Structure 1
């Protein structure tokens, strides 16, 4: 079953409006109405309900997925100038490319599935009764060089937790970009009511484990022989931080 088929917005037109905006990141309201061929009165009614229920926001006729994301931040080190900002829909291909390039190193298995998911769904941000998904990116000269991603299923018993992935292209490491991305992601999680953020890594990914430990993360559990990589069994290290 496709993701969109699982949503329950109470009306087919309402679901189509939300999915159109979610797929495009932002969209002009008149464009959505004309593209979907919904009568103007009914369209405004559905948009009003989507805004009331916290799915969409509207600013000067532009509809967006309702997520509080914060501002753009600029940093300038001796070697590189970079920007940390909320991701936009047009960043999708850059994010997928960055994640897959990092994953090619063979030690970021969770990130691989994230890249496949957003590439398949053709949407970055999610905010509905099933899940919330947020991305921030690091850019150099408007090119995506790193990301932080948070995913949280809207399940009561897990509503206080979110899964995080973070990564930076190899040539841009050791400039503090990963630390700034991690900080921005955790700041967003904390401000949105999450109490605990977690992620897993193969035990062979010592760089990631040491990076997280240096930022206050702790190992909660180790699953022995959870991965099989290049014919060898590798443990999974499950790490978390409380906010």
Structure 2
């Protein structure tokens, strides 16, 4: 996807996204597990969600990932996707939304905080990126 190539850069994600086939894409992003934002026919953003584990005891949680095309960032699209996600989660009986963000991605951290997320933990020096260790920040939001 064009958005993935533009958004998931080394300063945003610890590794490249590799989906060589349609089957691999559908396995990683199953139907019904993404909200999308379009302006006319153009896909400008998406929010993916799924349960973090296959455990029944963890079915009240959705883990999220979000990407907005750089040309359409800072226009409220991400906030609208998050609002729609919270409504979807409530309808699905989900009580908690969680996500991970690199400590170097302070713009995303601030966005998540504005959407009601807060830090639930930090994995110090979780990744070695561009010659330095980078923390992985775990965030959550009640639904």
TM-score, L = length of structure 2: 0.86
Compared CA separation, residues 205 and 140, structure 1 to 2 (3 A):
same
Q: Quick one: structure 1 residues 157 and 118, their matched pair in 2 at CA, closer, same or farther if it must change by over 3 Å? A: farther
After superposing on structure 2, the runs of 4+ consecutive aligned residues of structure 1 that deviate more than 4 Å are 117-120
Deviations 1:70-110 (A, max 9, x none): xxxxxxxxxxxxxxxxxxxxxxxxxx321231002631348
**How many pairs are equivalent?**
140
Gaps of 5+ in 1: 1-95, 127-132
1:139 to 17, 30, 38: 38
Cα separation, partners in 2 of 1:120 and 1:143, compared to 1, 3 Å = same
TM-score by structure 1 length?
0.53
1:229 deviation in Å?
0.9
Flag the structure with more relative contact order, 1 or 2, with Cα contacts below 8 A and sequence separation at least 6. Answer: 2
Pair member with larger Rg? 1
Deviation at 1:171, TM superposition (A): 1.1
Q: Distance in 1 between matches of 2:20 and 2:111?
A: 25
Distance 1:117 1:218 in 2: 35
- Partner of 1:216: helix, strand, or coil? coil
Greater helix fraction, Structure 1 or Structure 2? 1
Q: Which residue of 2 aligns with 1:174?
A: 74
